[in-house]
Structure 1
Amino acid sequence: MMPRPDLLKDIIADLRMAASFVTILPVASSKPAADGAVARATWALPVAGLLVGLAGAFVYKVASRLGLPPNLSALLALATTALITGALHEDGLADTADGLGGGRTRERKLEIMRDSRIGTYGVCALILSFGLRWSALAAIASPSAVALALCAAHTAARAGVPAFMSLVPPARPDGLSASAGSPPGRSVAIAFAVGTLVLALALGPGKALVGLILLSLAGLLLARLAIRQIGGQTGDVLGAFEQTGEILILLVAAAFQMGR
């Protein structure tokens, strides 16, 4: 059995690694990651997502206290989360939309996804992503409800990433996703448990169930699309999966809020 101090060190290392992957915060260890360390640390992705959600919620709360209306407060909250993550997931969404939407062959689609330039499909995807999330937060309006929705969205959207990486093979032998490796079953299970728990606590069991069903369906659809068009998943596809999850959870939160 691993001594408790070593276990604690591993947990902290995994949290730092996960945070360094999904944020621009200077928390990465100076030591090189051992083989399989990145895949193992994926259990902590929803925890890192929770921190991002809390940051957006804090800015929304401050903006509301300063008298700004919900639409402007929501925009500032979204800007905060994009800034903290370095717009990593937005970039993945745009590249995925450009790659899957353009190009006739698998090779051309992958080439487009690696191109740093953004195309029409990517622009449209980003407009829809920001527009839907902004509208949902503005509709929720209440700072406390917005905080819960943001925490739920950013946690749950990343909770399914390890499972997606495990079930969908990499589309190419190089790149971020391929180098990370396939997460072990334990990391997949812990990430799912953390995401489900936060989702249920933040939105309630009923909304959480709806959110999980929608996330699962969206994941299956994206996986099928990615496998058919490019042979599997890439880091960009994972970013698109995360963005889709954020959108769906925020829409669920807004729909139930408006239905009261």
Structure 2
Amino acid sequence: MSTTPEPTAPEPGPTVPASAPAPALSDGLRFAFGTLTVLPVTVHRWDREAARAGMLCAPVAGLAVGLVAASLGGLLLVLGAGPPLAAVASVAVPAVLTRGLHLDGLADTADGLGSGRPAEDALRIMKQSDIGPFGVIALVLVLLAQVAALAEVYGRSWTLGALAAAVSATTARLALTLAARTGVTAARPEGLGAAVAGVVPVRGALLAAGLVGCAAAGGGAFFGPYDIGRTVVAVALGCGAAELLSRHCTRRFGGVTGDVFGALAETAATAALVVFTLG
């Protein structure tokens, strides 16, 4: 496991009582950007209602991260850099804009799963500050896969590579929306996992997935009928891969944690990028 601790709640004001009015869209966006990025956003509310709105807005935060990643990669290509360097830059952006928390969660989750220990011991291993062999392997393979996939797509077209970067980052945060749906439990009573697990109604999660799928199809339409289908498949398979991991972690750990959410995001992003290399 890495030296970065599991993501915890930011330092907003006092928790809003249950009788408070429903959060506005701005509350949801603040929660999403303030929790899932390092952008200087103040979270005014840290309660279940705000968490619900925030997790529904998570794909918007992902789109913002993806657009920055795509812009940097495209800029390097315009300036004469090759696809591999542009791919490295694009992959680095989400890591920087999240302080590496999703990668940290991936490493922690891999160590917990790889330990083969009972749930309580595995969770304890995930909280330790050192990184184990399973965490190292997971980080290396995932980052290599992301860079290799983006380099291949950038080599075909910088605009298609930009679309892939944006779609993968958005899909990564959509996977978090789906993982926060009703019925998903938290493995610990504290941390980000406990704050957001089970807060999103299933209908809301499906609506978010439908909107992201439609937006991805709209982006793919600029490249042709094949890419309409490819972008939708990228979203679907990215979320599908994250869902399989989420269910496995729930069985192993008794629920989800902030580390698991990070692993889900990286899994979804990687699977989505791989789809863009096919065909």
Could you tell me whether the CA contact under 8 Å between 2:184 and 2:198 is conserved in 1? no
Cα–Cα, structure 1 residues 100 and 91, in superposed 2: closer, same or farther, change >3 Å?
A: same
Q: 1:26 aligns with which of 27, 40, 44?
A: 40
Name which of structure 1's ranges 55-64 and 170-179 shifts more when overlaid on structure 2. 170-179
Q: Which residue of 2 aligns with 1:71?
A: 84
When structure 1 is superposed on structure 2, of 220-229 and 84-93 the one drifting more is 220-229
Letter in 1 for 2:209: F
Higher helix share: 1
1:171 match: 187
Report what 2:215 is aligned to. 198
Matching of residue 151 in structure 1 with residue 174 in structure 2? no
For the residues of structure 1 that align with 2:107 and 2:277, how far apart are their CA atoms? 24
CA deviations on 1:83-141 (whole Å, 9 max, x unpaired) are: 11211211111110011111522111000111222111111111111100100111012
1:209 CA drift (Å): 4.1
User: What SS class does the counterpart of residue 61 from structure 1 fall into?
Assistant: helix
Aligned equivalent of 1:96: 109
2:24 — aligned with what? Answer: 10
Q: Which runs of 4+ in 1 moved over 3 A?
A: none
1:210-221, aligned counterparts within 5 Å? 210-221=233-244
1:95 alignment partner, SS class:
helix
Task: Tell me if structure 1 keeps the 8 A contact 2:33–2:41.
Answer: yes
Asked if 1:183 is matched to 2:196, the reply is: no
1:69–1:215 distance in 2 versus 1, CA, 3 Å:
closer
What's the TM-score, normalizing by structure 1? 0.88
Query: CA separation in 2, counterparts of 1:219 and 1:58?
Result: 26
CA–CA separation in structure 2 for the residues paired with 1:17 and 1:221? 26
Distance between the aligned counterparts of 2:254 and 2:239, measured in 1?
20
Q: Distance in 2 between matches of 1:45 and 1:87?
A: 17
How far has the Cα of 1:244 moved from its partner?
0.8
Paired residue type of 2:111: D
Residue 122 of structure 2 is aligned with which of 102, 109, 112? 109
The alignment's C-alpha RMSD in Å is: 2.0
Stretch deviating more after TM superposition (145-154 or 194-203): 194-203
Aligned match for 2:153, one of 129, 140, 148: 140
Amino acid in structure 2 at the alignment position of 1:23: T
Tell me, in whole angstroms, the C-alpha distance in 1 between the residues paired with 2:252 and 2:112.
9
Match of 2:64 in 1: 51
Q: Percent identity?
A: 37
Deviation of 1:178 after TM superposition, in Å, equals 0.7
For the 8 Å contact 2:230–2:275, the answer to whether it is kept is yes
Deviation of the 1:181 alpha carbon? 4.4
1:226 corresponds to 2:240 = no
1:29-75 Cα deviation digits (max 9, x unpaired): 3x342443112221110000000000011111111111111001111
Number of the residue aligned with 2:94: 81
Q: Is the 8 A contact 1:155 1:198 kept in 2?
A: no
CA distance in 2, matches of 1:62, 1:213: 29
SS in 1 for 2:255: coil
Q: Deviations over 1:193-224 (max 9, x none)?
A: 33212322233442144334423542342133
> Counterparts of 1:180 and 1:233 in 2: how far apart (Å)?
10
Pair 1:252-2:264 in alignment: no
> How many matched pairs?
249
Q: Describe the shift of the 1:231–1:88 C-alpha distance in structure 2 as closer, same or farther (beyond 3 A).
A: same
216-225 or 234-243: which moved more?
216-225
* In 2, Cα distance between equivalents of 1:176 and 1:81: 19
For 2:36 and 2:48, the matched residues in 1 are separated by: 20
Shift of 1:28: 2.0
Letter in 1 for 2:39: L
